[in-house]
Structure 1
C-alpha cells in the first residue's frame, strides 16, 4: 500500500493545479496596474497639452534668473524618468521581499509628499542643463514615459513585492515609486502653469494667415 501511495503523492504535488495553489498570490493587483497606467498616461497627456504649442520664447522664459524655464522643467522631468526607470529595473531583477511591506509607509504618504506645496530641493544629478532646445525637451520626456507605460502594461513582476535598496526603516515598493513618478509630473505641471501666469510671460503671436 505504501509503495502505491508515494507515487500518487508525487504526481499530485507535480500537477499544475497544486503547483498554482502553492504559488503566493501577487500583492500588486490588476487594479494597481490600471491605476498606475491611468496616472502615467494622464500626466503625460496633461504635460503635452500644457507645452505642445509653446513658442521658442515661451519655452525659454525665466520668471527670474534663479528660476527654471518651462524647457528646463520638462528636461528635469525627463531626467527623472531615466532615474526611476533604472530604480525599477534594478529592483525587479532582485529577489522579491514582500515582508518589507510590514514596515513600508502607506501609499497615501507618498501621494501627499510628492503633491505637497512646499518646495523640494532637486539633487545635482537631476538639475536641467538648459542646453536642449524648446520642444525637444518634450520629445525627450515622451520617449521615456512611453517606454515606462509599455513596461507597466506587460510586466509580470510583483511591484508591491520588489523594494528599493535604500536600507531605510520604511523602504518604498515599486508601486510607490510609480506614485512618485507620475506625481512628480503633477507637481511640475503646477510650476509650468505658474510660469505662464507671470506678467512678463511672452504672448504667442497671432498668425496673419
Structure 2
C-alpha cells in the first residue's frame, strides 16, 4: 500500500473521530451562558456605578459586608472561576462522566438558595479597595471570562473538574456557579441599600 494511501486513511479515521462526535455543549448553551454573564454584569453596574463613597462603605452592622466588600468578593471569585475554566478546558474531554454527574438544576438551586454561605478564605474581601475601584476590579474579571467564552470552541459539558465530592462538575456547571453567585450577591446589595440607615 502506498504511503499516500496510508496517510489518507489515517487522516480520514482521525476526521471521523473528531467530527463524528456531536458536542454536548450546544450553541444554545453557549448563548445562554453569555447572556447570563452579561445580564449579571450589567446588573452589578446598574446597582453600583453611581454610589457615593459613603454608600460604598455603609455596613448594616459591624459583622456585615459593605457594598464595596460584596463587589470585591465577586471580583475575587471572578479570578477563581477563570482559573478553573482555563485549567478545565485544557483537560481531556470525558463525556462519559455526564451520566454520573449532578444535573444543572442542582447547581442553580444551590447557588440561589436563601441560606447564608460562608465565604472561602481565598475570596474574603479585604476592604482595602475603595469605592468604585471594586467595580473596576469586578468588570476586569468578568470581561476576561466573556471574551474567553466567546472565542472558545471547547465542549464545556464534556470537560470536568473534580471537587471534594464524589460528583464531578463540568465547565458549563462552573459557569452556572459564576453567574448564579453574582445573582446571589446582587440580592445582598439590594438588601444593604434597603436598610433604613443607608445613606441617601
TM-score (normalised: structure 1)? 0.89
Match of 1:104, SS state, is coil
Q: CA deviation at 1:9?
A: 8.4
Question: Match for 1:62 among 44, 59, 62?
Answer: 59
1:22 aligned onto 2:54: no
User: Who is 1:104 aligned against?
Assistant: 101
Aligned Cα root-mean-square deviation (Å):
1.8
Name the CA distance, whole Å, in 2 between partners of 1:94 and 1:191: 35
User: Who is 1:185 aligned against?
Assistant: 182
Q: CA deviation at 1:13?
A: 5.9
Name the CA distance, whole Å, in 2 between partners of 1:153 and 1:47: 21
Contact 1:159–1:175 under 8 Å retained in 2:
yes
Match of 1:110, SS state, is helix
Name the CA distance, whole Å, in 2 between partners of 1:8 and 1:86: 43
Question: Match for 1:78 among 67, 75, 94?
Answer: 75
Q: CA deviation at 1:166?
A: 2.1
Uncovered stretches (5+) of structure 1, i.e. residues with no partner? 204-209
Name the CA distance, whole Å, in 2 between partners of 1:95 and 1:22: 15
Counting matched residue pairs gives 198
Within a 5 Å distance, the mapping from 1:1-209 to structure 2 comes to 11=8, 14-15=11-12, 19-23=14-18, 24-166=21-163, 168-203=165-200
TM-score (normalised: structure 2)? 0.93
Uncovered stretches (5+) of structure 2, i.e. residues with no partner? none
Deviations 1:103-125 (A, max 9, x none): 11110111111001111111111
Name the CA distance, whole Å, in 2 between partners of 1:151 and 1:172: 19
Name the CA distance, whole Å, in 2 between partners of 1:9 and 1:93: 30
